[in-house]
Structure 1
Amino acid sequence: MARQLNLDTVWQNFWKEEYLREKMLRCEWHRKYGLLVRAKQKAKAAARLPFTLPTLQPKAPVLPPPVPKAAPAKVPSPVSEASFQTEMYPVLPATRALLYEGISHDSQGRYRYLNTRKLDVPEKRYLFPITTNFTYGWQLGPPAKQELVSCKMCRIESFFRKNGAFAFLDPRDLAL
């Protein structure tokens, strides 16, 4: 469609009326629906703000009843005190010293520390099973060596077929 360059006063008045009519329609719409739109925008903005819980003031600590002076004072053991603070036993100083010797790239430092720590059984590292997965390996003892069955008919050497995926079954591929 070619552009008309010869705009006369009739065309100019037409476009002027169209522009004013669109402007009036926008003003009417804004007057009618503007408050609803602003309310929705405020609700969306309030939903995006993070919800914060009110802070509670700490309660006054309950004081235990006074201990009679005749009773001897108990010295808390480090293991029972550590159980309240962490779920792991403290690391031996010799094992901890491995952290500061060399770098992991040379199989020293953290790498050697973690490998040494990994060799300990979970009962020596943790005070109690932390997750339910720990129950599978908790207090199993040393691993028992399994002996292989000498019957060749019962053992399949490979999961895959020897003749390819789409070939016919070979009787040697089946355990009978």
Structure 2
Amino acid sequence: MRGPLTTQNQNCYRQLIEKEAYTRLAWKIKYGQEYPSRIAATFRAKKEPGLPKLPAAETILPPIVKREVQAVPEPKLDLKLKAPLMRPVTPKTRETLYDGISTEGKGRALYMRQRLGKGPEEKFDHPQLSSWEYGWKLDYGIDYRSPVSGRSGIVRSTFYARN
């Protein structure tokens, strides 16, 4: 089985079957006289002359109902009022984008390296994802040193091999 049979999959499958049935029925109505089916031909051959003729069954399709969906007008928002997701790039960084080509380490490659060097706090005004909130604007101790009385130096020098 490819995947779970959800309600959406069932509805899709039902619509496909209905569409195929309507297409076959429309074709039969349009071209049925020109191309009689084999079943109808065998019934005609086996008819006895004394039997009364039954009226031909007319297939009537339900009328096509065109539903007009009234579109809800979207409120016209001024694009200038929307807050941008990202802070604008500095002109100096923008100039690197158009200077040189990526294969030489300039242009887009240099621009992307400069943008990668910045943290999300510098690129965005507020967190875009809920997972960003955990570390948002945390001050990390850049000058981290091992404690003088701790065991980390001993473990590092005795346990780990140099190569």
TM-score (norm 1): 0.42
**Rg (Cα) greater in structure:** 1
Q: TM-score under structure 2 normalisation? A: 0.45
